[in-house]
Amino acid sequence: MNYLKRSMLYLTHKKGQSLLLLLIMSAILVFVLSGIIIQNAAVSATNSVTKSAGTTISVSANRNKMFSKMRSSSSKSKTKTITTPTVSNTKIKEAGSLSTVAYYNITNTASVNASSFDTVSTSTGSQGGGMMKGGSGASTGNITIDGVSSTKLTSSFISKEDKIVSGRNITSSDANTKNVVIEKELASSNSIKVGDTITVKMTTSGKKKIKLKVVGIYKAKSTSSSGMPGSDPSNTIYTSYTLPATITGTEGKSSTVTYTLSNSAKEKVTTKKIKSIINSSSFSVSSNDESYQQLLQPMKNVQSFAKKIVWLVAIAGTIILGLIIILSVRTRQREIGVLVSLGESKLRIIGQLFSELFVILIGAMVIALLLGNFVGNKVGNQLLAQQETTSVSSTSGANGGPGGGGGAPGSSQNGGMRGGAMTSQTTTSAANKKALKTLNTSISPSSVIKLGGMGLVIIALAVCVAAISILRLRPKDILIGE
């Protein structure tokens, strides 16, 4: 009968003690496994965040450069005008074809006057408050034309602030057409339906009229707070980015583009590449990974906490098991003495102890695998919820800012923007935050291997601690009392 059989005999004979050890070991392994799977889930969620956090790189006019150019202009006119710089769509597309870019949205804005219909005006008690929407220059119209690559990629549509209620979205296939999507209030107050044609009048170029085809009607949630005609969201017409460029006389060029990355981790290298493609000091290329960082932090905290759980439980488990085994060795001194007197080597006796714990480890692993996912899921999501709460409360101040700068006073043709490009980041972040409300914990083969490895290390260390007392035992002292 070798020491492995002796281990089994001992465990079956000492049922109570074996059960107690099984429970202790199971508790240790359940927490170790929970820590491992929380860690894995957090890592996988972090990877997912890295890919989908929607870090954006915006290419827009370098305002400092723009204003300094305006100041140094030789014009003696009282009202100085600035011209928004543009970049060719070819360069924009070249940058958009970078492998790290998921999609991009070109934004061009123009201001026109309604011709075949009336604008929607919102009356408020106080006039003049709020943001400037293109100023009060003579060239500012009462309708804002927001040209985009696709309305679906526009922040207000992503965040469901604007929602198509009839017809369809503006897509890339609408480029070089005069298809538009208008707001529901504007449509109903003028009895405009999908398929109708409306007319707008340019603010310059001899007040030329342009016929636009309504392909969709959207509903805007927000209302204007300023009471200015162009500021009411209902007076914003979405169209392809090519139309505002035609209106402003910058065909084939655009003023703003927002690239959304497929992998937030590649933000720096992509920014560098885009800068080199755009290659113009009139433009600033800036990245915004705020939402990525906001999402990343709670995950990093959960990961770090899970790591601490694993180590803490492993260390505590080793100490607890070590102490239990030392106590057990004390009660088993006579048995050890008998085996030593028979000529059994102390190493084999230690081997017997190890194999007893190994059998218990197998049982405890089964229990841990049954309970670990449940406990890990509960603990992980609790941790994440705490982290989310902390993160939201600590960042809420930063997120409450205005939705964009709007056009410069008196800028040529360009009316106010609704802050579309800037809010894209925030809305993507909101979508990701929703996705990260829960941790998807699951037991993978690598988790089982890790658990087994940790379990083996724990019992090996515990046995090593106990082995010290076994090696110090003198058989004569145990077996023969003088």
Partner 1 sequence: MLTVKNLTHWYGQADKPLYENVDLSFDSDKVYTIVGASGSGKTTFLSFIAGLDKPQKGDIFLDGKNIKKIGATNYRKHKVAIVFQQYNLLTYMSALDNILTALSVTDSGHKGEKQYVLDSLKSVGIEEADAKKNVQKLSGGQQQRVAIIRAMLVDANIVIADEPTGNLDGENSAMIIKLFQDLAHEHHKTVIIVTHDPKIADQGDVKISLEDREFVVA
Residues in contact with partner 1 by the rule CB under 8 A: 1-2, 6, 9-10, 13-14, 334-335, 337-345, 474-476, 479-482
Q: Which is nearer to partner 1, 272 or 474 (CB)?
A: 474
* DSSP 8-state secondary structure symbol assigned to residue 407: P
Q: Which is nearer to partner 1, 10 or 238 (CB)?
A: 10
CA–CA separation, 390 and 179 (whole Å): 46
Give least dist CB 311 to partner 1, A: 36
* DSSP 8-state secondary structure symbol assigned to residue 56: E
CA–CA separation, 413 and 10 (whole Å): 90
CA–CA separation, 59 and 376 (whole Å): 43
Beta carbons within 10 angstroms of residue 4's beta carbon: 14
Which residues, listed in sequence order, are joined to residue 217 by a DSSP beta bridge? 166, 182
Q: Which is nearer to partner 1, 348 or 378 (CB)?
A: 348
Q: Which is nearer to partner 1, 13 or 76 (CB)?
A: 13
CA–CA separation, 291 and 267 (whole Å): 13
Q: Which is nearer to partner 1, 22 or 95 (CB)?
A: 22
Burial (CB count <10 Å: 0-12, 13-18, 19+), residue 134: buried
Q: Which is nearer to partner 1, 392 or 480 (CB)?
A: 480
Start-to-end Cα distance in the chain: 32
Residue type, 338: V
Beta carbons within 10 angstroms of residue 331's beta carbon: 10
Residue with tokens 């016929």: 211
Give least dist CB 333 to partner 1, A: 11
Cα torsion angle, 403, 405, 406, 409, sign: positive
Give least dist CB 335 to partner 1, A: 6
Q: Three-class SS of residue 481?
A: coil
Q: Which is nearer to partner 1, 430 or 473 (CB)?
A: 473
Give least dist CB 308 to partner 1, A: 40
CA–CA separation, 164 and 48 (whole Å): 29
Q: Which is nearer to partner 1, 30 or 339 (CB)?
A: 339
Q: Which is nearer to partner 1, 63 or 474 (CB)?
A: 474
What phi, psi does 382 have (nearest 5°)? -65, -45
CA–CA separation, 410 and 66 (whole Å): 13
Structure tokens at 223: 């209302």
